[in-house]
Amino acid sequence: MADLHDARELDETVLAKLDELVPFAPLHQPVALAFARAARLRWPHARQGVAFDTDFHASLAPWSRRLPVPEAWDALGIRRYGFHGLAFASALRIVAGHDTGILKGRAVFAHLGGGCSVNAVEGGRSRDTTMALTPLGGIPSPTRSGDLDPGALLYLLRHERLDAQALEDGLDRSAGLAGIAGHGDMRVLLADPGPQAQLAVELFAVRIAQSIAAMATGIGGLDHVVFSGGIGHRAPVLRARIVARLAWLGLALAPDVNDAGATRIDRGGGPSIWNVAIDEERELAESALAWL
């Protein structure tokens, strides 16, 4: 994984390396590779390129990259790589179009979609991020657990005799919001007054607010907060619940502007707060242009 950085030609050698990474992202990698192979069959004479969702995180701080595991596991590649790099790059590009200050300041990005992660960016470079080796780590997502006590997995393996497939199914597809409330659609959960739906939303909002504060701590402060993704961009109520928990950091929304779904949504005076419709495909295309 370590040598797959910059965008490049997608040839058979790179495809074979990407096949080896399927175990790290079972929800994502098989779909992306099937699509790439179908495109090769359909357009055999076209040149095909690839850009990596982890690439934005090549600049992670050493204390973020290294996981606190035995040295021998680190040598196996058990490290933080981070994901949603195309999403964060797009969000950064959009906000920089309004305020170039974000390229010099301390920013925390909350990308809340099918998968959710929070990212610390200092001077335009990623320094820390909540997802780690796989898109299962970090904050909870609609159907993924996020971080757990690793002892819980040992207990399930050893005493409940769950195998790796059962753990993967549970953690990737039946956990997160869906684990608590039975399904992971934030639209439905926000409209559901039932206790399980409310617990799921509250847990989600608190964990994200905590992660924003934690990410800010790693980069020594907070000048900008940026929301993106299907939930982050489309659910003003959730943004309000998250930001309300960060008032002690000086964050304050302008409620009308937030409800209207505007791009800049803070009240002024504290860190700026942004709400952006990202374009991951454009980031892919920009990477491809750089490679060509």
Ligand X SMILES: Nc1ncnc2c1ncn2[C@@H]1O[C@H](COP(=O)(O)OP(=O)(O)O)[C@@H](O)[C@H]1O
Q: What spatial distance separates the first Cα and last Cα of the chain, rounded to whole Å? A: 22
Sheet holding 272-275, edge to edge: 125-129, 116-122, 106-112, 224-228, 272-275
Q: Which residue is nearest to Mg ion (CB)?
A: 113
Instruction: Give the tokens for residue 139.
Output: 């904050």
290: CB partners within 8 A, 6+ apart: 7
Q: Which stretch binds ligand X (CB under 6 A): 20-28, 40-48, 91-99, 180-188?
A: 180-188
Does 175 engage in binding with ligand X (CB under 6 A)? Answer: no
Q: Which stretch binds ligand X (CB under 6 A): 112-120, 200-208, 256-264, 269-277?
A: 112-120
Residue 186 assigned ligand-binding role? yes
Residue 113 assigned ligand-binding role? yes
The residue (of 36 and 257) whose beta carbon lies closer to ligand UVW is: 36
Question: Quick one: which of 82, 85, 105, 113 contacts Mg ion (CB under 5 A)?
Answer: 113
49 binds, among ligand UVW, Mg ion, ligand X, none (CB under 5 to 8 A by kind): none
135 binds, among Mg ion, ligand X, ligand UVW, none (CB under 5 to 8 A by kind): ligand UVW
Q: Which residues are catalytic?
A: 53
- Cβ-contact 83, 135 below 8 angstroms: yes
Residue of 99, 100, 131 whose CA lies nearest to 115: 131
Give the whole-angstrom CA distance, residue 65 versus residue 57.
Answer: 9
Instruction: Give the tokens for residue 264.
Output: 């800049």
Residue 47 assigned ligand-binding role? no
Q: Which residue is nearest to ligand X (CB)?
A: 230
Residue of 109, 139, 135, 137 whose CA lies nearest to 122: 109
The residue (of 182 and 218) whose beta carbon lies closer to ligand X is: 182
Binding site for Mg ion (CB under 5 A): 113-114
Binding residues for Mg(2+): 280
